[in-house]
Amino acid sequence: MSFPFMNKNKDQGRILESSHALIDRAKKVIKYRKYFFGAGVLASINLQITMLESYIRTEDFANLEGRSNGLSRLLNQYGGDVAQETFLGENMEALFVAILLAISIRTFFVQSFQIPTNSMAPTYYGMTCRLVNSETTAASVWSKIWRKIKFCSREVNVVATNNGTVSIPLAKAKLKSNNDTIYVVPYEEIFVKKYLGLARTKARKYTIFVDNRKYQIVSPIDLSLDRILLEKFCKGYQSWKEVIGSGNFDQKFDRGQMISIFDTKHPITIGDSVVRFEILAGDMLFVDRVSYRFRQPKVGESVVFTTNAIGDFSKAPKFFIKRLVARPTNKLSIENNQLFVDGKLVMDNEILEKLNLKKEGYKNGYCPAGMLGEGLSVTVPEKNLFVLGDNSKDSYDSRFWGFVPEKSICGRPLMIFYPFTNRWGRCK
């Protein structure tokens, strides 16, 4: 296929190209504004278009440029905003269609979703962190850049400005999963800016001490730093409850709550890293929002749902991902860390089989707790579903907050598209 301005010299090609564009603009002005000016103006524009088209056919370059200038002046005088040759004006319709298409795809077809916690590990992982040691620090610049690309990682480094030993505040808390009393490092919820300050998101602000000087550490709202601080300053302890049991702490009241200040005896000098760690992003998924419009979710499938009709979650709805284990009228129980539905061991797919047989990374199986505590059973009511996390030991799921209405199901995970780990690919 050839165009009139091909095989011409550069100037002639430019004149022909701009003349074609000018004719298109003139026809657009006539289409949208012919009722705003009189018959004389309309006739003048049509005449200019006819003459330009004639000069293009005969390749009369001597008259073509001058006639183009005449038509351009007419359009600028009578064409209004329609005639303005700007990117926005020329492409507004295309931009609007693109935005509408993107919204439609997200709403009705495919949506991205990031795993917030590790309640579905090892099938899907939420945000995690790891200490940065001397070996990691010595890694080459390129290996660090590659790690950022591969795992969407970012580093947090808190540098000491005084000498002393590290002390960490600890407070009592109740586990949502089994109501046990534990000790945690307390934090304050704050808002931090993101997207170059265009948006705000919640975060955790932890405070630890070097002697009496405060050091604050900020992490995403879904990422607890309890494990990383325990690993850094209290090697040999498995939990903060064990740390409290050692008796090496002071106590004080803070905002009406009893706070234990644990002296780690860990020495810090000016310029040292008080704590340095790397945050790794949770798995990012594409979610299929179409399939469940035509069929019901199957037992064994992992499902994404909104919490807009689930207890206290309804006050600030979120999207959760869990595995569907029972449908309406099914009766569930957990015995010997195995899940039974209607008296039968649940083996509907590969993951459920691994959980019930305690194979590979699913060695804990299902933990009896909440509605499915030892010796308890529950029957799923009509129009509701029962969902559990694959990491049953650390999952806050239907055992504790109840059933998921069928109408709250949004879709099923299709694939993990980021980060590039061995979990990349089709969802299980």
The CATH number linked to 23 is: 1.20.1270
Tell me 36's DSSP state. T
Examine the domain organization and report whether 296 and 192 are in the same domain.
Answer: no
Query: Is residue 356 within 8 Å of 345, Cβ to Cβ?
Result: yes
Higher pLDDT, 270 or 116: 270
Is the residue at 56 inside a domain? yes
DSSP string, 366-426: PPP-GGG-TT-EEEPPTTEEEEE-SSGGG--SHHHH--EEGGGEEEEEEEEEES-STT-EE
Query: Total domain count for the chain?
Result: 3
Lowest mean pLDDT among 50-59, 101-110, 123-132, 165-174: 101-110
Is the residue at 121 inside a domain? no
Examine the domain organization and report whether 317 and 405 are in the same domain.
Answer: yes
Q: What is the pLDDT of residue 101?
A: 62
Question: Which of 30-39, 88-97, 409-418 is modeled with the greatest confidence?
Answer: 409-418
Q: How far apart are CA 325 and CA 352, in angstroms?
A: 9
Q: How far apart are CA 173 and CA 184, in angstroms?
A: 7
Q: How far apart are CA 361 and CA 364, in angstroms?
A: 8
Asked whether the CA dihedral 246, 248, 251, 255 is positive or negative, the reply is negative
Q: What is the dihedral of CA 74, 78, 84, 88, to 10 degrees?
A: -150
257 pLDDT tier (thresholds 50, 70, 90): low
Is the residue at 274 inside a domain? yes
Q: How far apart are CA 18 and CA 96, in angstroms?
A: 25
Q: What is the pLDDT of residue 213?
A: 92
Burial of 22 (0-12, 13-18, 19+ CB in 10 A): buried
What is the mean pLDDT of the segment spanning 43-71? Answer: 77
**Tokens found for residue 338:** 């195995």
Is the residue at 116 inside a domain? no
Examine the domain organization and report whether 81 and 155 are in the same domain.
Answer: no
Examine the domain organization and report whether 252 and 299 are in the same domain.
Answer: no
What is the mean pLDDT of the segment spanning 121-130? Answer: 90
Mean pLDDT of the chain, nearest integer: 82
Examine the domain organization and report whether 224 and 323 are in the same domain.
Answer: no
Query: Is residue 42 within 8 Å of 34, Cβ to Cβ?
Result: yes
**Tokens found for residue 39:** 């018959």
6 pLDDT tier (thresholds 50, 70, 90): very low
Is the pLDDT at 404 greater than 50? The verdict is yes
Examine the domain organization and report whether 237 and 314 are in the same domain.
Answer: no
Q: What is the pLDDT of residue 299?
A: 94
Q: What is the pLDDT of residue 88?
A: 44
Q: What is the pLDDT of residue 123?
A: 92
Is the residue at 139 inside a domain? yes
Q: How far apart are CA 340 and CA 342, in angstroms?
A: 7
Is the residue at 120 inside a domain? no
Examine the domain organization and report whether 135 and 270 are in the same domain.
Answer: yes
Lowest mean pLDDT among 253-267, 272-286, 364-378: 253-267
Is the residue at 91 inside a domain? no
Task: Report the run of H or E that residue 73 belongs to, with start and end.
Answer: helix 61-78
- Segment 59-80, tens digit of pLDDT: 777 777 777 777 777 777 776 5
CA angle 298, 348, 286 (to 5 degrees): 50
Domain ranges, residue 22: 10-85
Q: How far apart are CA 123 and CA 422, in angstroms?
A: 11
Q: What is the pLDDT of residue 203?
A: 92
Which residue, 252, 280, 308, sits at the end of a domain?
Answer: 280
Q: What is the pLDDT of residue 261?
A: 85
Examine the domain organization and report whether 60 and 189 are in the same domain.
Answer: no
Examine the domain organization and report whether 144 and 170 are in the same domain.
Answer: yes
DSSP string, 277-290: EEEEPPPEEEEE-S
Q: How far apart are CA 156 and CA 204, in angstroms?
A: 13
- Segment 391-402, tens digit of pLDDT: 998 899 999 999
Which residue, 280, 313, 348, sits at the end of a domain?
Answer: 280
Examine the domain organization and report whether 141 and 212 are in the same domain.
Answer: yes
Is the residue at 104 inside a domain? no
- Segment 296-331, tens digit of pLDDT: 999 999 999 998 888 878 787 888 999 999 999 999
Higher pLDDT, 209 or 134: 209
Which residue, 85, 105, 136, sits at the end of a domain?
Answer: 85
Examine the domain organization and report whether 316 and 249 are in the same domain.
Answer: no
Examine the domain organization and report whether 295 and 232 are in the same domain.
Answer: no
Q: What are phi and psi of 133, to 5 degrees?
A: -100, -175
Helix (H), strand (E) counts: the chain: 10, 22
3-class DSSP assignment, residue 242: helix
Q: Which residue has the tokens 């009139």?
A: 4
